[in-house]
């Protein structure tokens, strides 16, 4: 798959710098709520304002100028706050806000630091945004950012809508109802926690790590979906009905991905992967009551499929792949030091080649292979099941076949094969 995310992120426009200190902020000593004030650029070539520059104790309106150039203007009517920023230089706002509605519009980058409590709506429209706030909004947050958006503070809201070039999330987000995001890149870091009832995600690249759960519904169209981060522990859960369409899916080391829930038989997810699914060695994918379609699955970790259907062209098993009460349609299975377990399931394939590893066919399973089944040094254990191979079955490793049916034109067994109660048709 080879998605080089660090290189991709290195060439993205980073139009805003996170600031954590307001030492250079403009301080107003007078209490005139309706005045024009002068301010200057700081040593970073930025403008910085803090609570002292605003008057939230009563309705007020102020404008800030650098010479003749208007930098910022705000209007506070006692309930709602509107801030308009006219400069293309970065503007830093270190403010605490408790209003019904808040609207911020800027032609340049903005860095916001503080505490925000919003009763209804919170809107920001800016070139770039770094937001390091504890933000509680009881209605809806809408962020429209042309370039990059970085969120470092905790968000808590029923509805969150984001339009951004690049969204970098490093904090906790709790969205009780609906999270809607459209971005070129969505990147959630390992320290982040994300919980939402419903999600709609449109992105070129989506990298999700840390804690991530969508409890009700997810619609996603992503070119490259990367779950987890190397060197970090991640738990990603899609417990309800979801429709996810991605170009490639990569599950990184130390990442546990669960799709569906074992006891939710009335909820079904559909995952369509145009190209490959890659599961790293210490990661796992568990699917309940789902439908999974992809071009190739390369599994070095663990994949467990329960009560589901899987349709792919090629399965490369270098780890552990298990099917329980499932339907599996595949052109080619290649097992190289892996484990393939089929229980209470139906498997349809063109050919199966097990070099080294183990193949378990148990509990009334049925395998229908149109070409051939080769097991070189691999172990094959077959119990109470049926194997139908059109051309040839070759078992050269140590194998056990019990109470099963084998139908094939040619059967070749090594001396190490143990057979009891087998029905063989040629």
Which residue, 194, 200, 165, is CA-closest to 179? 200
CA–CA distance, 388 with 368 (Å, rounded to integer): 5
Alpha helices in 53-158 (DSSP H): none
Residue 96 resides in a domain = yes
Q: For residue 8, give the 3-state DSSP assignment.
A: helix
Task: Read off the pTM.
Answer: 0.89
β-strand 346-362 against 302-306: which pairing, if any? unpaired
- What pLDDT score does 14 carry? 61
CA distances 372 to 170, 324, 369, Å, are 50, 23, 6
Report which secondary-structure segment, H or E, holds 6.
helix 5-10
The sign one gets for the Cα dihedral 304, 249, 190, 221 is: negative
Q: What one-character DSSP code corresponds to residue 57? A: S
Q: For residue 10, give the 3-state DSSP assignment.
A: helix
Sequential pLDDT tens for the chain (426 residues): 444 554 444 444 467 888 877 766 666 655 566 688 999 999 899 999 999 889 898 999 999 999 999 999 999 999 999 999 999 999 999 999 999 999 999 999 999 998 999 999 999 999 999 999 889 999 999 999 999 999 998 999 999 999 999 999 998 999 999 999 999 999 998 888 999 999 999 999 999 999 999 988 889 999 999 999 877 899 999 887 889 999 999 999 999 999 998 887 777 889 999 999 999 999 999 999 999 999 999 999 999 999 999 999 999 999 999 999 999 999 999 999 999 999 999 999 999 999 999 999 999 999 999 999 999 999 999 999 999 999 999 999 888 999 899 999 998 888 777 777 667 666
Residue 368 resides in a domain = no
Which residue, 278, 264, 352, 338, is CA-closest to 308? 264
Residue 80 resides in a domain = yes
- Are residues 265 and 240 in contact, defined by beta-carbon separation less than 8 angstroms? no
Q: Which residues are within 8 A (CB) of 365 and not within 5 positions of it... i.e. 6 or more apart?
A: 342, 343, 344, 345, 346, 347, 385, 386
Concatenating the DSSP letter of every residue in 359-394 gives: EEEESS-EEEEEEEEEESS-EEEEES-EEEEEEEEE
- What pLDDT score does 27 carry? 60
Q: Which residues are within 8 A (CB) of 180 and not within 5 positions of it... i.e. 6 or more apart?
A: 159, 160, 161, 162, 199, 200
> 256 is written with which tokens?
């546990």
Long-range contacts of 5-10 (CB under 8 A, 24+ apart): 5/187, 5/205, 5/207, 5/226, 8/185, 8/205, 9/166, 9/185, 9/187
> 12 is written with which tokens?
């993205």
Q: Which residues are within 8 A (CB) of 288 and not within 5 positions of it... i.e. 6 or more apart?
A: 258, 259, 260, 261, 262, 264, 306, 307, 308
- Are residues 87 and 47 in contact, defined by beta-carbon separation less than 8 angstroms? yes
> 245 is written with which tokens?
């369409």
Beta bridge pairs of residue 261: none
CA–CA distance, 132 with 137 (Å, rounded to integer): 15
β-strand 47-50 against 241-251: which pairing, if any? unpaired
Q: Which residues are within 8 A (CB) of 266 and not within 5 positions of it... i.e. 6 or more apart?
A: none
Residue 123 resides in a domain = yes
Q: How far is CA 198 from the centre of its chain?
A: 13
Residue 354 resides in a domain = no
Q: Which residues are within 8 A (CB) of 85 and not within 5 positions of it... i.e. 6 or more apart?
A: 71, 72, 91, 104, 105, 106, 107, 108, 110, 126
Which residue, 194, 195, 246, is CA-closest to 216? 195
- What pLDDT score does 239 carry? 84
CA–CA distance, 402 with 367 (Å, rounded to integer): 15
Q: Which residues are within 8 A (CB) of 9 and not within 5 positions of it... i.e. 6 or more apart?
A: 166, 185, 187
Domain count, the chain: 1
Domain, as residue range, for 86: 17-146
> 11 is written with which tokens?
């060439």
Q: How far is CA 163 from the centre of its chain?
A: 17
């Amino acid at each position: 798959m080879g998605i080089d995310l660090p290189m991709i992120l290195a060439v993205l426009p980073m139009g805003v710098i996170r600031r954590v200190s307001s030492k250079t902020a403009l301080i107003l000593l007078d209490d005139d709520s309706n005045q024009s004030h002068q301010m200057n650029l700081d040593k970073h070539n930025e403008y910085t304002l803090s609570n002292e520059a605003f008057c939230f104790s009563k309705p007020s309106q102020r404008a800030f100028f650098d010479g003749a150039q208007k930098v910022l203007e705000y209007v506070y009517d006692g309930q709602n706050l509107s801030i308009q920023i006219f400069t293309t230089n970065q503007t830093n706002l270190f403010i605490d806000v408790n209003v019904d509605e808040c609207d911020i519009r800027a032609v340049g980058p903005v860095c916001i630091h503080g505490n925000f409590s919003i009763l209804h709506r919170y809107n920001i429209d800016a070139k770039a945004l770094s937001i390091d706030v504890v933000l509680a909004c009881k209605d809806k947050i809408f962020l429209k950012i042309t370039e990059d958006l970085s969120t470092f503070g905790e968000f808590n809201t029923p509805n969150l809508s984001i339009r951004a070039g690049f969204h970098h999330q490093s904090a906790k987000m709790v969205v009780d109802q609906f999270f809607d995001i459209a971005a070129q890149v969505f990147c959630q870091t390992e320290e982040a926690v994300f919980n939402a009832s419903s999600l709609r995600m449109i992105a070129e690249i989506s990298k999700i790590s840390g804690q991530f759960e969508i409890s009700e519904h997810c619609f996603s169209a992503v070119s490259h979906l990367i779950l987890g981060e190397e060197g970090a522990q991640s738990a990603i859960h899609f417990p309800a009905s979801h429709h996810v369409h991605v170009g490639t899916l990569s599950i990184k080391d130390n990442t546990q991905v669960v799709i569906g829930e074992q006891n939710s038989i009335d909820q079904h997810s559909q995952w369509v992967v145009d190209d490959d699914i890659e599961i790293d060695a210490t990661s796992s994918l568990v699917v309940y009551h789902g439908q999974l379609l992809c071009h190739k699955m390369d599994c070095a970790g663990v994949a467990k499929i329960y009560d589901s259907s899987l349709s792919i062209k090629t399965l490369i098993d270098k780890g552990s792949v298990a099917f329980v009460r499932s339907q599996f349609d595949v052109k080619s299975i290649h097992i190289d030091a892996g484990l393939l377990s089929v229980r209470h399931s139906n498997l349809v394939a063109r050919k199966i080649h097990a070099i080294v590893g183990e193949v378990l066919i148990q509990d009334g399973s049925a395998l229908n292979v149109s070409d051939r089944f080769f097991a070189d040094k691999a172990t094959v254990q077959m119990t109470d099941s049926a194997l139908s191979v059109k051309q040839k079955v070759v078992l050269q490793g140590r194998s056990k076949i019990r109470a099963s049916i084998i139908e094939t034109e040619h059967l070749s067994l090594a001396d190490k094969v143990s057979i009891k109660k087998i029905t063989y048709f040629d």
